Amino acid sequence: MATFVFLYFAAIILVTASLVVVLRNPIYSALSLLVMFFHVAGLYVTLHAEFLAAIQIIVYAGAILVLYLFVVMLLNVKRDERYSQQGPVALFLGAVLLTEAILLAVSHGLTVAAPSPVAAGERMAGNTESIGEVLYSTYLFPFELASLILLVAMIGAVILSKKGIMESKPRSREGTTHQSPGGVI
Amino acid sequence: MNVPVEYYMVLSGLVFLIGLVGVLVRTNLIIILLSIELMLNATNINFVAFSAHFGNLAGQVFVFFALTVAAAEVAVGLAIIIALYRHHASINVDDFRLLKW
């Protein structure tokens, strides 16, 4: 039963992931990515990671994908784009990687070390609670760094997409070419 | 857990491969960013599968961090796309050859 559920999720994930790459209209790509996010969340639920499933839906489907759709509709992209010309290079690299993976799988076998009995014994009871305990004790410093990353990303996005900051620079440099170079940043 | 962890490894490898092909093959910048999201999701599936397999919560915590980085990457990447579109009126990768030789 669990295998059938996994196979259903895996099939939908693979199909929608291929559609993201194959479809020509960016809006359809973003929407099929939305379907994929929901099925990845379902996969997390079958793996007893309910907190991450909720986070996946809220952050990925709710925030990131909406941002994508905003930009796609803001830019109003023409649909005449074509595939790039480096297909042979991609084919060659893909063939090399595929043979490497097959060789590794054949020689070593796709086996993973069995879980240690102690670790398998302590099943996490409340997923959110135990994640919180680990996150705020062992991984407290990376957690703070993550907030710093978000701050930097926010400032960077504002500076990059704000109109005045980007375009006042060349104009002011153009007007002040005769002045001392130290005066213009 | 009845499903062996190797199935999850194969699934995440295939999704990662699809994302890699998307980055290499497409020329639309937005689709390239979406393909990067595919690759990040493939690694997240792997993290969660191994976290459940070993009964260790560190994998799920790292998915949390990967998600933070993905959000930051999306914000900055989309801002770059908007700035590029404002200057060149295009988001086709083949149109940007300033740094090509």
Does residue B100 lie within any of the structural domains? Answer: no
Is the pLDDT assigned to residue A178 strictly greater than 70?
no
Top pLDDT among A138 and A120 is at A138
The fold of A1-78 is: Four Helix Bundle (Hemerythrin (Met), subunit A) (1.20.120)
Q: Which pair of structure tokens corresponds to residue B47?
A: 């993290």
Domain of residue B45, residue span: 5-95
* Cβ atoms A90, B24 nearer than 8 A: yes
Is A163 an interface residue toward B (CB < 8 Å)? yes
State the complex-level ipTM: 0.90
Contact A153 B76 (CB under 8 A): yes
Does residue B69 lie within any of the structural domains? Answer: yes
User: What residues does B92 pair with on adjacent strands?
Assistant: B28
Does residue B28 lie within any of the structural domains? Answer: yes
Is A61 an interface residue toward B (CB < 8 Å)? no
> Chain B residue with minimal CA distance to A14?
B15
pTM: 0.81
Mean pLDDT of all residues in A113-124: 54
User: B2-61 pLDDT, tens per residue?
Assistant: 688 888 988 998 999 899 888 888 888 899 999 999 999 999 999 999 988 888 888 889
The position carrying tokens 């994302």 is: B19
> Chain A residue with minimal CA distance to B16?
A17
Show Cβ contacts of residue B51 under 8 Å, excluding neighbours closer than 6 positions: A47, A49, B57, B58, B59, B60, B63
Is the pLDDT assigned to residue A120 strictly greater than 80?
no
